[in-house]
Chain A
C-alpha cells in the first residue's frame, strides 16, 4: 500500500543521506522524497512516499525513528491529511495547440510561467493524480520536459508534527 511519511530531522550535513541510505540498505522503495528547512532553520521537514505491507511500513517508521538525527516521524496516511505536488511542464506551443494548451492549463488551474515563440512552461500544483491527469489530457508529443517535486504532506486540522 502507498504511504506518505513525514519527518522532522536536524538540518545538518549528511542527515538526508542517512535517510536515503537507510531505504537503499534495507531494500525499502522510495516513490518520492522532498526535503527543505522549516520555519525553525535548525530543523528540516521531509516527506517520503513509499509502498509496502503494514509490517514493512512499521519497520520503516521504526528504523527512521532510530536514526539519531530524526526527531519525529508521522505516517500521514494513517489519518486525514493533505498532499500537494508541484510540476513544471514545458510544452511545444505552436499553431492550434497554442490556444488548446492555454485552455487545458486554465481548466487544471495551472499558470503559464514562461512564454516563448514556440513553447509554454506551465506550473501546476495538486495531488499526484491531478498532475498525472493533466499530462494525459494534453497531446503527449507536445511535452518537451517535465519536472516534479514529489509530494509534500501535512495532517488536517489538529494533526500536527512539531517538536
Chain B
C-alpha cells in the first residue's frame, strides 16, 4: 500500500519506537500533523515555543539512553529551534529533529515562512538532510537515527518540503543502514590500552579526569570499577557529574572554573593524567599555557579523534567507545602482576587531603537572616535523598546545584554545559519527567533563566508534569553580577532584574502551586511540603542573598592553581 510522505515519516518514528514527539505545528508540517492525528503510538507533546520542544527532547534523551525527537515547522519554527539544537550539539546529545520546509518548487523564492534550514543549522548539527524525493524519506529517517546515536552522538535534522510530505510511495523501512563515508566504530586498540596501563602503573601522582563521555557511553560502572581497583583520585567535569559517585571518598569533587580546590590542584600537579570522555575545554583547565607548565603524561580516551590533542598534547591517545576501552583496561589490570607504587600513592593522597583542608571543601557561611542559595540546594539534596533528577538553567544557581547536590548516579544531572543556554532547565525537566514519570524531577533555576522559557508552565499543566521548580531569586543576573563585581569595578551594567513578576501568582495563573520563601527557617519546611506534593508542579520562589558569589573560582584566563577561595572562610 502506498503511503504519503507524512505517513511514512510517522511510521519511521514508530519503527524507531519513539515514545514522545515534542513539537509545534505550522503550515509546512500540516500533513505530518495530520498523519500524527490518525495514529496513537507516537504521543505528541505540544510545547509553547519551539526552543522548548528541542530542550524537552534533549532532557528526554539525557535522562535515558534514547534518541530525543522533535517536530517543528519551517521558517520561524526551525529558527526558534536552533538554540536548542546548538545546545544538544555542544553536549553531544542524540536527537532527531524533523522540520517542515516550503514546497520544493517554492524553495529559493523567499516564500512565506521559508528559511534555509539546512544552511542555518549546518554548523550545529552532526548532519542534516533536505529530502527531495518522497522515496528517500524512510532511508533518510533510518540514517538520521543511526547518525544521531552512533559514534559521538549529536542532533540530526531532516528537512521535509510540504509537497514531499503529501506525495505517495510504498513504505519500506530499511533493516540496516550503512554509510560508506561514516565508520564510527573504531577497532579496540589493544596496544595503546596496554601502553596506558603501563603508564598508569608507573604513576606516582595519578589523576582520573572523567567527563560527559562517561554518561553518553553508559560507562559509569566501568569508570567506578577502574577507579576503585586502582585507588586513584577521580574528578568529574560539569558534564560528567554522576559518572563517578560523588559521595565516594576517592571523589575529589568537580574541577574547573568553579571546581573544588583539591580537584583543581590535583589536576594541575598530577604526573599521570587519564582523561576519559572529556575535552580539556577552557572552563575546565583554564589557561592552557599555565596548565602545560607542569610536566605530566596524559592518556586520553575519546570516541572522537578530533577531541584528542585539540587543546593539550597527549602522550597516549586512545580512540574508541569508553565502555569497551575501560573494560579492556580493567581486564589488563586484573591480569598484570605489576602494581602501583603504594607508598607514592599514599603520599599523593596525603597531599590531596591537605588541599581538601586548605580549600575548605565546599563550605559557605550560612545565615539565619537571609537565605543562602547553597543552603537551598543542600536541603533539597537531603530531602530528595540525593535521588532526584536535577535539571538546571545557566548561571550561579547552576554552579551551586553542581557543587552541592551529590550525584551518585549517571543521567541525574541535566544541564547545558557546552552552550550554556538559559531557558534550558524547565523544558528539559519536562522531557525528564515524561521519560521517568514516577521519579522526582527538580528544576534549579533563577529568576533570570526561568523567564526565558516560562511559557512552558502551560505545557506542564496540560501534560500533568509535577516538576519542582526551585528558583533562586536574587534579583540579579547573578553570574553576570559576580563578574562585574570582580572584573568590572562593581559597575552592575544591566544585571539587576527590576520589575519582576509575582512568581506565586504567575504559577497559580498557570494552574500550579506557587510558594514564596523569604526566611532561612522556612526553607526546609517549604521543600518538604513541595516535594510531598507528588501530583503538583510547585514553583518555589526563594528570596536569596543577592550578594552571594560562587566559590571557588578560577578567574577567566588564569591557571588552575590560581584558584580563588571564598572570602567567608
| A24-77 interface (Cβ within 8 A of B) | 25, 55, 58-59, 62-63, 65-66, 68-72
> Is B524 an interface position by the 8 A CB rule?
no
Q: How many residues of B contact A (CB 8 A)?
A: 17
A19 shortest CB reach to chain B, Å: 11
* CB atoms of A66 and B304 under 8 A apart: yes
| A10→B182 CA distance, assembly (Å) | 11
* CB atoms of B306 and A63 under 8 A apart: yes
The residue among B118, B123, B181, B304 with the most chain A CB atoms within 10 A of its own CB is B181
- Kindly report which residue of chain A lies nearest to residue B132, judged by CB atoms: A13
* CB atoms of A71 and B181 under 8 A apart: yes
B427 shortest CB reach to chain A, Å: 27
In the complex with contacts A68-B181, A68-B182, A71-B181, A17-B119 CB distance below 8 A: yes
* CB atoms of A68 and B126 under 8 A apart: yes
* CB atoms of B122 and A17 under 8 A apart: yes
> Is B135 an interface position by the 8 A CB rule?
no
A17 shortest CB reach to chain B, Å: 7
- Indicate with 1 or 0, residue by residue over B110-137, a CB within 8 angstroms of chain A CB atoms: 0000000011001100110010000000
A43 shortest CB reach to chain B, Å: 9
The residue among B119, B122, B126 with the most chain A CB atoms within 10 A of its own CB is B122
> Is A163 an interface position by the 8 A CB rule?
yes
* CB atoms of A62 and B123 under 8 A apart: no
| A13→B309 CA distance, assembly (Å) | 32
Which of B118, B127, B304, B309 contacts A68 (CB under 8 A)?
Answer: B127
| B300-335 interface (Cβ within 8 A of A) | 304-306, 309-310
List of A residues within 8 angstroms of B305 by Cβ: 62, 65-66
In the complex with contacts A18-B122, A21-B122, A25-B123, A62-B306 CB distance below 8 A: yes
Total residue contacts A-B, CB cutoff 8 A: 36
> Is A9 an interface position by the 8 A CB rule?
yes
| B507-552 interface (Cβ within 8 A of A) | none
| A72→B306 CA distance, assembly (Å) | 15
| A18→B305 CA distance, assembly (Å) | 19
List of B residues within 8 angstroms of A13 by Cβ: 130
* CB atoms of B310 and A68 under 8 A apart: no
Which of A21, A62, A163 contacts B180 (CB under 8 A)?
Answer: A163
* CB atoms of A59 and B122 under 8 A apart: no
In the complex with contacts A21-B123, A25-B123, A55-B309, A69-B181 CB distance below 8 A: yes
List of A residues within 8 angstroms of B122 by Cβ: 14, 17-18, 21
| A148→B175 CA distance, assembly (Å) | 48
List of A residues within 8 angstroms of B147 by Cβ: 68
List of A residues within 8 angstroms of B118 by Cβ: 14
In the complex with contacts A10-B181, A68-B147, A71-B180, A58-B309 CB distance below 8 A: yes
The residue among A18, A25, A59, A66 with the most chain B CB atoms within 10 A of its own CB is A66
List of B residues within 8 angstroms of A18 by Cβ: 122
| A119→B127 CA distance, assembly (Å) | 49
List of A residues within 8 angstroms of B309 by Cβ: 55, 58
- Indicate with 1 or 0, residue by residue over B10-32, a CB within 8 angstroms of chain A CB atoms: 00000000000000000000000
List of B residues within 8 angstroms of A14 by Cβ: 118, 122, 130
| A142→B127 CA distance, assembly (Å) | 48
B466 shortest CB reach to chain A, Å: 40
- Kindly report which residue of chain A lies nearest to residue B123, judged by CB atoms: A25
| A136→B450 CA distance, assembly (Å) | 64
> Is B179 an interface position by the 8 A CB rule?
yes
| A72→B216 CA distance, assembly (Å) | 27
- Kindly report which residue of chain A lies nearest to residue B181, judged by CB atoms: A71
List of A residues within 8 angstroms of B306 by Cβ: 59, 62-63, 65-66
List of A residues within 8 angstroms of B130 by Cβ: 13-14
| A13→B181 CA distance, assembly (Å) | 15
List of B residues within 8 angstroms of A21 by Cβ: 122-123
In the complex with contacts A14-B118, A59-B306, A63-B306, A68-B179 CB distance below 8 A: yes
- Kindly report which residue of chain A lies nearest to residue B305, judged by CB atoms: A62
- Kindly report which residue of chain A lies nearest to residue B152, judged by CB atoms: A66
- Kindly report which residue of chain A lies nearest to residue B147, judged by CB atoms: A68
- Kindly report which residue of chain A lies nearest to residue B304, judged by CB atoms: A66
* CB atoms of A70 and B181 under 8 A apart: yes
Which of B123, B127, B179, B181 contacts A9 (CB under 8 A)?
Answer: B181
B160 shortest CB reach to chain A, Å: 15
| A4→B118 CA distance, assembly (Å) | 29
List of A residues within 8 angstroms of B123 by Cβ: 21, 25
A154 shortest CB reach to chain B, Å: 20
List of B residues within 8 angstroms of A17 by Cβ: 119, 122
A104 shortest CB reach to chain B, Å: 45
| A2→B309 CA distance, assembly (Å) | 21
| A100→B484 CA distance, assembly (Å) | 69
- Kindly report which residue of chain B lies nearest to residue A25, judged by CB atoms: B123
| A57→B306 CA distance, assembly (Å) | 11
| A87→B126 CA distance, assembly (Å) | 37
* CB atoms of B181 and A59 under 8 A apart: no
Query: Can you list 11 A-B pairs with a CB-CB distance of less than 8 A?
Result: A14-B118, A14-B122, A17-B122, A21-B122, A21-B123, A62-B306, A68-B126, A68-B127, A68-B181, A70-B181, A72-B181
Q: A68-B182, A163-B180 are in contact. List 12 more A-B contacts (CB 8 A).
A: A14-B118, A14-B122, A17-B122, A18-B122, A21-B123, A25-B123, A58-B309, A59-B310, A62-B305, A63-B306, A68-B126, A69-B181
A-B residue pairs, 7 tightest by C-beta: A71-B181, A62-B306, A68-B127, A25-B123, A62-B305, A68-B182, A63-B306
